Amino acid sequence: MGDVKPRWPLIALLLSICPGLGQQYSGKLGRGIAAYISLVVISWLAAIAYMYVTSRIVGLLLLMVPFLGIAIIAIDAMICAKRQPPDYRLKWFNRGWIYVAVFAGLLVTINPLMDYLVGKQIVRAFFVTSGSMYPSVYEHDLVVINKLAKPKRGDIVLIAFKKAQKENASRIIKDQILRRIIAREGDTVEIKGRQVYLNGNLLDEPYASFGKTESLNEFISQDYHLPPGTVPPDSFFVLADAREFGFDSRMFGYIHEDEINGVAVKIFWSWNLDGSQFKWNRTAIDL
């Protein structure tokens, strides 16, 4: 028989920083494990739904799902502790090292499994580290990538470079970057300075920006010219929105469809590191 020790609701609340441990402390091991798994699954489902909702208010509510889930689990842990009698006898799992083992076991099994099933196949987040897609995407934005969407003209896509391309441009680009699809297979592209022609017609590009800022490096001059070229099969021509900054198809050529890792559909949140604050007016907006 275990020692007699009452269960304190405040301790159950504090342990709920690691969701489910409060229930374990309160004598409900199975309930705690179920709570943790439910939180992870529901959070991923909310992320999937977030990709498709058109209402910004609904999007903001979906962003709150993980936090609401943690709060509900913490309250439930307090209730479980309060319902235990003062002469509660410790169970086999009411030991410090078992608390750590249970939480660590869930962390290294459930989380990677859901990341593989959902994060690598359906939806993921991508942290932007440059201003190459300004003004559509800011540096330090966290964007949502829909991995099920079929890329089309005008989409901002996540590109994962092949090894050879990465080695050729290793000083400039990272493994993955965001760029906008301008043309697809069979299209003819021509650039005259700031003007892009698609199949002989001047392309209207309200998203494009020009001019240097303090955070951008000049790669392409304003009088840059690219002769007409036809996009090969299963490929795309991509450009950065910040035309004098972005490293794009003007330098590394066409992108094969196998290098497209998904379509950027929303801003998850926008963070101003200089001002140490969220840009709430950009959070949960469509791209």
pLDDT in tens, 102-130: 999 999 999 999 988 898 899 999 998 88
Distance separating alpha carbons of residues 178 and 134, to the nearest angstrom? 11
| Range in 151-165, 198-212, 233-247, 251-265 the model is least confident about | 151-165
For residue 223, name the pLDDT band (cuts at 50, 70, 90). Answer: low
The pLDDT assigned to 31 comes to: 96
Q: Domain end: 121, 139, 168, which one?
A: 121
263 in the same domain as 148? yes
CA angle (247 as vertex; 245, 252 as ends), nearest 5: 155
Question: Global pTM?
Answer: 0.83
The per-residue pLDDT for range 54-76, each reduced to its tens digit, is 898 999 899 899 999 999 999 99
Examine residue 64 and state whether it is found in any structural domain, yes or no. Answer: yes
Q: Are 271 and 142 in contact (CB under 8 A)?
A: yes
Distance separating alpha carbons of residues 214 and 6, to the nearest angstrom? 61
The pLDDT assigned to 220 comes to: 61
The pLDDT assigned to 120 comes to: 86
190 in the same domain as 110? no
**Mean pLDDT along residues 222-249:** 86
130 in the same domain as 116? no
Distance separating alpha carbons of residues 153 and 64, to the nearest angstrom? 32
Helix or strand holding residue 30 (H, E): helix 29-52
192 in the same domain as 148? yes
Helix or strand holding residue 184 (H, E): strand 176-184
Structure tokens, 47: 């992320």
Torsion angles phi and psi, residue 202, rounded to 5: -65, 130
Q: Which residues 6+ apart lie within 8 Å of 67 measured at CB?
A: none
The pLDDT assigned to 102 comes to: 93
Q: Which domain holds residue 78?
A: 9-121
pLDDT at residue 213 is higher than 60: no
Half-sphere exposure of 85 (CA within 13 A, CB side): 4
The pLDDT assigned to 150 comes to: 93
Examine residue 65 and state whether it is found in any structural domain, yes or no. Answer: yes
Distance separating alpha carbons of residues 128 and 102, to the nearest angstrom? 34
141 in the same domain as 63? no
CATH number at residue 147: 2.10.109.10
The pLDDT assigned to 163 comes to: 54
Higher pLDDT, 160 or 280: 160
68 in the same domain as 29? yes
Torsion angles phi and psi, residue 249, rounded to 5: -65, -15
The per-residue pLDDT for range 25-65, each reduced to its tens digit, is 999 999 999 999 999 999 999 999 999 998 989 998 998 99
230 in the same domain as 172? yes
251 in the same domain as 150? yes
Distance separating alpha carbons of residues 264 and 123, to the nearest angstrom? 10
The pLDDT assigned to 25 comes to: 96
240 in the same domain as 142? yes
The pLDDT assigned to 277 comes to: 66
